[in-house]
Amino acid sequence: MKISYSWLTDYLPTQLSPSEVAAKLTQIGLEVEGIEEVATIPGGLAGLVAGRVLTCEKHPNADRLHVTTVDVGGGEPLRIVCGAPNVAAGQLAVVAQVGVTLYPTDGESFRIKKGKIRGEVSEGMLCAEDEVGLGKGHEGIMVLPPDAKPGSPIAPLFHVESDTVLEIGLTANRADAMSHYGVARDLAALLNLTTPTKAKLPAVKLPPLASSATAVRLGSFTPGLATRYMGLTIRGVKIGPSPAWLQRRLRTIGLAPINSVVDITNYVLHSVGQPLHAFDLKSFASGAVSVMTLAEGTPFTTLDGKARKLCAGDIAICDGTTPLCLGGVFGGLNSGISLSTTDLFLESAVFNPTAIRKTAKRHGLSTDASFRFERGVDPNGTEYALLRAAQLILEIAGGAIDGKPIDYYPDPQAARSILFNPARARQRIGAEIPDGEMLRILDGLEIGYRWLGSGTEGSYHPPLSQAVASPSRATKGKSNTAELQGGEAQHPGCAMQSQAEGVVPAESLLELSVPLYRVDVTRPEDVEEEILRIWGYDHVPIPSTITYTVPAPRDDSARRLQAEVGDFLVGAGYTEIMGLTLTAEGIYSQLKAFSPASLVHVLNPLSSDLNVLRPTLLVGALDAVARNTARQRPNLKLFEFGRVHHLTGAKGSAESPLEPYRETTNLAITLAGKNHPETWAEPQRDLTVFDLKGAVENVLGYLGIPLGRLEYSAPPEGIYGHGLTIALKGVCLGHFGEVDAGISKAFGIKQTVLYAELAWDTLLATNGQSKLKFASLPRFPEVRRDMALLLDQTVTFAQLQRTALKAEPKLLKDVWLFDVYEGEKLPAGKRSYAIGLTLQDPETTLNDSTIDGAVERVYQALVKAWSVERR
């Protein structure tokens, strides 16, 4: 935020230099990030001189250009090519000679060079007002008064002055300091510690107002949209340029003057922090102003000429139901002030901060007004700002106020009451600040106080509206009362209970009255912070010892296990990645497994590419593969731990509004390319789904999950070309397979991508359920037997393995598949498996009869369960 030093001193005259003011503001928390000496016009019009156009002829090679000779007060006249339609011989114009730097109203500065334009030499430039930072006009060159002397600097003609601008890095909670008066008020609180000091606003004096109703009356107001809405009508104004002093003020803080009325509203905004808006009175055909929301999709064109569609929650200032303005954010194209305006309606209001922020985000609009409304504006300051702006309009643009102001204030707000314990404040601050010093600080901060026991009251400063020589006004709602009530305070027992201090006597407590412009001061701790801020952090003594509480250890076994598995995968050659949690909704049109109803949408997305919380880690994995393969890194082994989100379809309630939402942690494993880097020792091969299956089983085995008990079924539709779902006792642990080629192509990937996604939270719950059994090393030999089985193609080896182990739990130690055959020699729908059986008895050597009996029991179990045949 830019603060002009000279503007600041209008409200707080001081002998402090700009650098001293900057140091004191930083001391009290308004950090000054930069100090800049500026001219009221960018560049100060340095190097620009008056020049008389001696001759003006058509350019021989261009229809719209002229070749001029210009007298700049010495030496030979300059030859300058000019494209302005109004250039003529005899004019006095603004001349930028070769070497001069121009600072245009819009765009970057540039240096004038000698050159040729369509074959004709040009030794300078005849300037329009936007080319030298004096406005936005570009219709033609500036024509100076006839008494200007050729060769004389033009800066004195435009009253160029210098000022110092302080760049303040304001925190979001300090809405009260978002104006020159607000900064002056805070600085005065510090200076008040040594010398009685107050920031003062200029008094508003208006001619007596007619008691008749104003031309614009209060219409329909939707509750909750406007805390307060005031307005008045001014007739007979003459719109034109602002006076030099007003233009200088605005240019100093980086604002371009527009016209007298708009400049006045901007000036008052940066003076006291209250946004204003002026309407052409012709916009109110119905004669009533309404504040409401309109139907979704209502068309509306804003001042920037952009056609928009209103959203259901946007605050609209309306004539009837016709939108004229996005309330608190941006004006409408057809209701603003123009040079033809003679009658206007001036608005001063306070709108709902949440609604303003949502509207600004939805439409991508951030204005000085919305910036302040989002953070909080004092409803008791609207009247002063309205009448101050009206006073300036009458002085600068003429006209007269028609009727009394309108005022919608359904719930008048008084100063905020806080019960405050000075003794506790001293304890928390860590310094013995005397009561008198605290009271002086409260007085400087315009916080009224009263000792509960004695009834003694300190000074209390009224809100801005009470600084006005207030005319009568039409008020809709309750009366506006902002007084601190006397008498006995209504606090139970007039005492405060504290575990550390016991009962605090009433005479030791203060009842504070905090002005509404301090939206950040709502509790005793905030007041303590304010006292310390003004008193000075550097005054707090540093203790010789510091005591602190060591937090109790927490159970982070899950985090440690995740780190262990991550280290395990890194050791196996994998690289950990981190994908974006926010994704684009359009991506999931390719991923049929995720229906639109299951997606969790972001209410106010940063962009359309970041509007959905990811329901899967697959998107980040495919993005990583696409990015790496595009950079000639096709061989990839990746993993990611990340949270995913989805809607369950359940209905939320007031007690459990988040019931429909689910957030879980998943583990993704991704493979692509070759199995290892190219080397002479071993040929490369493409990674297959069995490599991925091995990686998944390695992770599950590391977690102690019995692989022999895993259940496999078809994968979820819409992700894999072919793959499997893994479960244990009916509980899904995840899925894996080869990503569908169409999905890979949508991400720009040409090679095969293998992907697995495991439900990490479920794996953690499963981990540890299986008990480890320890046994001595076997003393007796193991025996191998093989079987060649004919079976249906629908039967998987995992099903055979589980059946075999269950049929012979004592002697059968392992079952594995070592050959698969499918061919024309087999019946249709059949395949052949060659499986190996390992048998062992821990207590004796197996004989043939025992072995044959065990193998036969296994075979009969397979026949019964899966109708297999021996080959």
Residue 360, in any domain of the structure? yes
CA distance 276 to 734: 58
Residues contributing to the annotated binding site for Mg(2+): 520, 526, 529-530
pTM for this structure? 0.61
Across 365-437, where does the E strand assignment appear? Answer: 400-408, 416-420
The shares of helix, strand and coil residues in the chain, as percent rounded to the nearest 5, are: 30, 30, 45
Same domain, 571 and 446: no
Token pair 């350019």 is at which residue?
59
Determine the Cα angle at 485 with ends 481 and 490, to 5°: 125
Instruction: Report if residue 778 sits inside a domain.
Output: no
Same domain, 653 and 728: yes
Is the same domain home to 858 and 719? no
Give me Rg for the CA atoms of the chain. 40
Binding-site positions read: 520, 526, 529-530
Reference 82, options 109, 54, 58; nearest CA is 58
Contact present, 610 and 585 (Cβ < 8 Å): no
Q: What angle do CA 393, 396, 400 make, to 5 degrees?
A: 50
β-strand pairing of 720-728 with 731-739: antiparallel
| Termini Cα distance of the chain | 87
Q: What is the pLDDT of residues 159-177, one digit of tens each?
A: 777 889 999 999 999 999 9
Q: How far apart are CA 517 and CA 736, in angstroms?
A: 59
pLDDT of residue 583: 92
Dihedral-angle region of residue 862 (phi above 0 means left; psi in -120 to 50 means alpha; beta otherwise): alpha
Whether 144 and 174 map to the same domain: the answer is no
What single string gives the DSSP state of each residue in 691-750? HHHHHHHHHHHHTT--GGG-EEEPPPTTTEEEEEEEEETTEEEEEEEEEPHHHHHHTT--
Q: Within a domain: residue 197?
A: no
pLDDT at residue 465, rounded to an integer: 37
Residues in CB range of 312: below 8 A, 6 or more apart: 293, 294, 295, 296
- Whole-number pLDDT of residue 770: 59
Query: What domain range is 515 assigned to?
Result: 416-461+472-538
Give a yes or no: residue 202 inside a domain: no
Give the per-residue SS3 of 764-829.
Answer: HHHCCCCCCCCCCCCCCCCEEEEEEEEEECCCCHHHHHHHHHHHCCCCEEEEEEEEEECCCCCCCC
Q: What pLDDT score was predicted for residue 58?
A: 94
Q: Give me the pLDDT at residue 166, please.
A: 95
Looking at 766, 797, 819, the residue that finishes a domain is: 766
| Residue ranges of the chain whose pLDDT lies below 70 | 40, 210-211, 213, 453-507, 652-655, 768-773
- The verdict on 27 and 56 lying in the same domain is no
Q: Are residues 124 and 222 in the same domain?
A: no
Is residue 200 included in any domain, yes or no?
Answer: no
Question: In sequence order, what are the beta bridge partners of 713?
Answer: 725
**Domain match, 733 and 861 both:** no
pLDDT at 308: 93
305 and 265, same structural domain? Answer: yes
Identify whether residues 283 and 354 lie together within a single domain: yes
Is residue 282 assigned to a domain?
yes
Same domain for 639 and 617:
yes
Same domain? 30 vs 75: no
* Element holding 630 (H helix, E strand): none
How many domains does the chain divide into?
6
| Domain at 506, CATH number | 3.30.56.10
Compute the Cα dihedral for 860, 861, 865, 870 and give only its sign: negative
Residue 433 near residue 531, CB atoms below 8 Å: yes
Q: DSSP readout, 269-329?
A: HHHHS--EEEEEGGG-TTSEEEEE---TT-EEEBTTS-EEE--TT--EEEETTEEEEETTT
316 in a structural domain: yes
Distance (Å, whole) CA 103 – CA 100: 10
Q: Within this chain, do residues 252 and 285 fall inside the same structural domain, yes or no?
A: yes
For residue 210, is it within any domain?
A: no
CATH number at residue 791: 3.30.70.380
Q: How far is CA 381 from CA 202, 375, 868, in A?
A: 14, 15, 89
**Crossing angle of helices 797-807/848-866, nearest 10°?**
130
**What is residue 866's predicted lDDT score, i.e. its pLDDT?**
92
